[in-house]
Amino acid sequence: MGTHLPSTEFDGTAVDDQREADAEAVMGEPPAQMVQLLGPDGKLGFDPVFTEYAEKVTPEVLRGLYADMAAIRRFDVEATALQRQGQLALWVPLTGQEAAQIGSGRASRPQDYIFPTYREHGVAYTRNVDLAELLRQFRGVSNGGWNPKDTNFHLYTLVLAAQTLHAVGYAMGIQRDQKLSAAHGSGEEAAVIAYFGDGASSEGDVHESMVFASSYNAPVVFFCQNNHWAISVPTNVQTRVPLSNRAKGYGFPGIRVDGNDVIAVHAVTEWALEHARQGKGPVLIEAFTYRVGAHTTADDPTKYRQSAEEDAWRAKDPLARVEKYLRAEGLADDAFFAKVKADGDELAAYVRRTTHDLETPDIRSAFANTYAEAHPLVAEELAWFEEYTAGFEGGDLPAGSSGQPAAKAGH
């Protein structure tokens, strides 16, 4: 008997669309529609609400969005290679989700504040976070890597869904600050974006954050990147209807957008942020996308999903559809795409060079940073670690394995 692998519920097939429609019919409501403007064929469509916002994406802006997506994909490839070569302890790939991240990030304004998870490298790029600095955390030489005050882009949150509560609290603070500023006739309107995945949507923190956001009309946009897999758990295990429908239960708008369509993502996010800044309350965006690679470099997706599914989503590649459109409309030529590739290679070389120049992680600092004051259990674990490393020549860990025993000792 062959191994049965679970399949995702929302893979764009007629069978799954019908399943979704049936679920909606039980509730007496029409099936949720997905906003799509630029299809996989590279042709631009129309939406009665969001085409108006999409028209702000000029050819120059669209070329910039493509360049951003290409750059962050090249960065992702380089970071993965660095991890495989022992330069990073772990890496969290984003390939396949470039449009969701670049489109939403570029729709934000400098005064907006962003709360990411641990995969929003593309959003970080749009907020001018130095990508080499971003890798400091994954190398283990920093608990963060950058100063959020410089970019309004918060540090990565490794605790699943915790950032959604932080985001709502911050948004409520912005709300109060803006009331004071309005009384004095000063200040810019701002909003918050909270990123999370389909897996995190099952966490209680997300529910609680949406309750608070709705109750206090907080200026926050919940941006869910539904990449179909919460590590090895498919979307249909977590929800029977589109995640965007959950917003109805909290009393605010929910929008499902093609997360591989950078134009639609940009338009929807711009609308949602405008809605929040104007004091109209929160919005939930479900960016319907796909994680092409592994959950992290410690994951093997071949164990739980089929290659045919991956191939089907590669045909919906966010970069390919923009390239088709730019070429078909005569908005970009070979010289443009060659320059984009060269710029990406230059970025990759910079990231590689600066990563190699980073100091070697000292795992002993993890023991010192666990508690503010000395703790007997931590002291015991440190003693075990010191005894272990003393067994190697030179009294330290062998090259390429500096992080492994420490992870065991720290836990």
Q: Of the residues 291, 305, 321, 352, which is catalytic? A: 291
Amino acid letter at 322? V
Kindly report the number of other CB atoms within 10 A of residue 299's CB atom: 17
Q: Which helix (H) or strand (E) holds 274?
A: helix 262-277
Query: In angstroms, rounded to a whole number, what is the distance separating the alpha carbons of residues 172 and 178?
Result: 10
**167 exposure class (CB count in 10 Å sphere: 0-12, 13-18, 19+):** buried
Q: Is 277 a catalytic residue?
A: no
- 307 is written with which tokens? 């290659």
- What are residue 203's phi and psi, to 5 degrees? -80, 145
What is the four-CA torsion angle of 234, 237, 243, 246, rounded to 10 degrees?
-160
Q: What are phi and psi of 78, to 5 degrees?
A: -70, -45
Q: CA dist 109 to 43, 225, 313, Å?
A: 28, 20, 31
User: How many CA atoms lie less than 13 Å away from 73 in the CB half-sphere?
Assistant: 21
DSSP E strands, 52-146: 113-115
Catalytic residue among 136, 256, 275, 295: 295
Active site residue 228: no
Residue 195 annotated as catalytic: no
Active-site residue, from 63, 207, 216, 304: 304
Catalogue the active-site residues: 291, 295, 304
